[in-house]
Amino acid sequence: MNAIAKVVISAFCGMAWGQESTSMLCVVALIPLLWNLAKTRTIAGCYVLAYYLAAARGIPHGAGVYFAETAPTLAGWCMWIAASIVNAAPWFALWNPKQRRRLWGLPLALILTAIPPLGIVGWTNPLMAAGILFPGTGYVGLILLIALLIALTARWLYVIAPILAVAAIANLTPASAAPKIEWHGIDTAFNGDNSFASLYQRLSALQRIADAALPNSVTLLSESYLGDYDPAKHTALRNISNQLKSKNSTIIAGAQRPSSVPGDYQVENVLLALGVDAGQAIVQRMPVPFGMWKPWDSNGYKANFTGAGIATIHGKTVAGLICYEELLVWPVMLSMQHAPEILLGSANDWWARDTSIPLIQRQSLALWGRLFAIPTVEATNV
């Protein structure tokens, strides 16, 4: 098989993201294997670059919509190419003509693209295939996937066979499936509009949702649903919260609130609880780079690289992935250290509605829930 054919296969693996069948994502595990088969460093880098470019194909259009009034159309294309190059760079640097060195270069590349600083743009990491191959195994599944890739690279049949047996057992074991829960999410469509009229309409809709909420229920709404949150000015929210308390119910909705650090003018992107769990909040660890997180700008969104992303809702430990975090590895790893019982995914994708990005986020959330055998609840604004 020539190099061009393998580039096409790599791109196909990237295209698996954003398709209706989540099961197709098992093919992303082929990327490290194709990388290993390359004859030169440049060709190896091209295989991985083709994968990331295909997986992130929604960025040019989405960024063009998001930055329509603040940046030229070319900026979206530059972001797409630059981020893909960053993800491919460790693979390019760690390829070596000696297979023995590739054996440790493979797991190192996976890890480097999963954790900051490279992990800040480390979306669609091949490690996420563990959710398909080793459901219900958690951290062990990630280790097994890495071990399987190393064994396939070295052709250690005595290692490959037992790992594949574990994969088969994991996929046939009912215990690996996430339990069903009564919590639910509601998708919305308010674009990126935070005008007074739009916020009023959303508060009116929130009141109707609270009126219809069943006793002991939990409802998830999208990122940014409440806009800029100031408790002192939101009498309506206090009334809705008190109404929900009387039902022992909770609504979780996205908002932007001032940083809790004195003298810090950045805002935090959060999921706030209203109702019986009022006061609980999940703080986003990684806002979208350049669009929200601007380390050079004191008025941007605040990153919280070591945050747990955890809250207690209805007596359960809940982890939240807010929009961009759904695509990454390290925020999930931080949250899973706290053994959450439910995984929430809340996004505001008005700018990406005509791209593959919203579906890729849903797939990512499903993969994490499947890997750790915990139920997921999602809500998206598109």
Residues paired with 218 in a beta bridge: 250
Q: What is the CATH number for 312?
A: 3.60.110.10
pTM of this structure: 0.94
DSSP secondary structure letter of residue 26: G
Residue 269: enclosing H or E segment and its boundaries? Answer: strand 267-275
Q: Considering 150, 174, 198, which residue would you say is the last residue of a domain? A: 174
- Whether residues 164 and 297 fall in one domain: no
- Whether residues 225 and 346 fall in one domain: yes
Q: Does 179 map to a domain?
A: no
- Whether residues 260 and 301 fall in one domain: yes
Task: Write out the DSSP string of 137-159.
Answer: -THHHHHHHHHHHHHHHHT-HHH
Residue by residue, pLDDT tens for the chain (382 residues) are 688 999 999 999 999 999 999 999 999 999 999 999 999 999 999 999 999 999 999 999 999 888 876 777 788 899 999 999 999 999 999 999 999 999 999 999 999 999 999 999 999 999 999 999 999 999 999 999 999 999 999 999 999 999 999 999 999 987 666 777 789 999 999 877 778 888 889 999 999 999 999 999 999 999 999 998 876 567 889 999 999 999 999 999 999 998 777 777 789 999 999 999 999 999 999 999 988 999 888 788 999 999 999 999 999 999 999 999 999 999 999 999 999 999 999 999 999 999 999 999 999 999 999 999 999 999 999 9
The sheet with strand 342-348 has its strands ordered as 310-313, 316-322, 342-348, 376-381
- Whether residues 129 and 264 fall in one domain: no
- Whether residues 255 and 237 fall in one domain: yes
Can you give the residue range of the structural domain that contains 106?
3-134+136-174
CB 45 within 8 A of CB 36: no
- Whether residues 61 and 156 fall in one domain: yes
- Whether residues 123 and 238 fall in one domain: no
Tell me how far apart the alpha carbons of residues 209 and 206 are, in angstroms, rounded to a whole number: 5
- Whether residues 93 and 208 fall in one domain: no
Q: How many domains, in total, are found in the chain?
A: 2
